[in-house]
Amino acid sequence: MTGTLVVCATPIGNLGDAPPRLAEALGSADVVYCEDTRHSRKLLDALGVDRPLRSYFVGNEAERSKEVKRRLEGGDTVALITDAGMPVVSDPGHSAVVAAIEAGATVTVVPGPSAALAALAVSGLPSERFVFEGFLPRKASERGDRLADLAAEPRTLIM
C-alpha cells in the first residue's frame, strides 16, 4: 500500500491566514518535509501540531525526494510545506511530487495563500489574463535577456 503526499500551502505573512485544514493535514502526517525546520517548527507550534520535521530545500531536494519516495512506498503520509506560500511554485517540491507519482502514491493539496495572486489582486493591473514568471535570473546578463524576451508579452506579468 502506498502512502499519500500532501502538498500544503502555508501563510505568507500572517499565521491567522492558516486554514483549519492545514493543521489537520500536518497533524495527520507521519512526517513533515520543510524548507527550514526552525521556521516550520514555529508554524507547527502555533497550530498545536507536534510532528517530526525533515529539511527539504534546493540543496538537498534530490536526496530528500528519494527519501520521500521510500516513505510513500512504505505507506506513510508525508506533508510538504515551504516557509511561505505553496511548495513547488518558485519553491522546492517539484521532485517530491514527481517521486510520489512514480511511487504510485496519492498526491493531494491543501490550498492556501499565494503571494503572486495576492500581489495581482491589489496591483490594479488587468487580471483576466496573466502569466506567473517566477523569479528572474540572478546574473545580470541572463536577467536582461529574460526581460527582453518578456517585453512583448501582452498579458500581465507577475514576477
Residues 120 and 103 in one domain: no
Among the candidates 110, 128, 148, a domain finishes at 110
User: Residue 154 burial (CB < 10 Å; 0-12/13-18/19+)?
Assistant: exposed
* Domain end point (choices 71, 92, 110): 110
Structure confidence at residue 139 as a pLDDT band (50, 70, 90): very high
Please provide the size of the chain in residues: 159
- Model confidence pLDDT, tens digit, residues 17-29: 898 999 999 999 9
Do residues 33 and 11 both lie within one domain? yes
What pLDDT does residue 104 have? 97
132 and 68 fall within a common domain: no
Residue 45 reports pLDDT greater than 90? yes
Nearest to 33, CA basis, from 71, 63, 78, 70 = 78
Which of 71-75, 105-109, 132-136 is the least confident region? 132-136
**Domain identity same for 120 and 76:** no
Tens digit of pLDDT for each residue in 77-118?
999 999 999 999 888 899 999 999 999 999 999 998 788 888
In this structure, the answer to whether residues 47 and 77 fall within a common structural domain is yes
What is the pLDDT at residue 6? Answer: 98
Q: Return the percentage of the chain with pLDDT > 90, whole number.
A: 75
What pLDDT is recorded for position 90?
80
As for how many domains the chain has, the answer is 2
Are both 48 and 102 inside the same structural domain?
yes
At residue 57, the pLDDT reads: 95
**CATH at residue 21:** 3.40.1010.10
Q: Provide the residue range defining the domain that includes 121.
A: 115-158
Triad 115, 25, 47: Cα angle to 5°: 75
pLDDT at 151: 93
30 lies in the same domain as 94: yes
Binning pLDDT at 50, 70 and 90, where does residue 138 land? very high
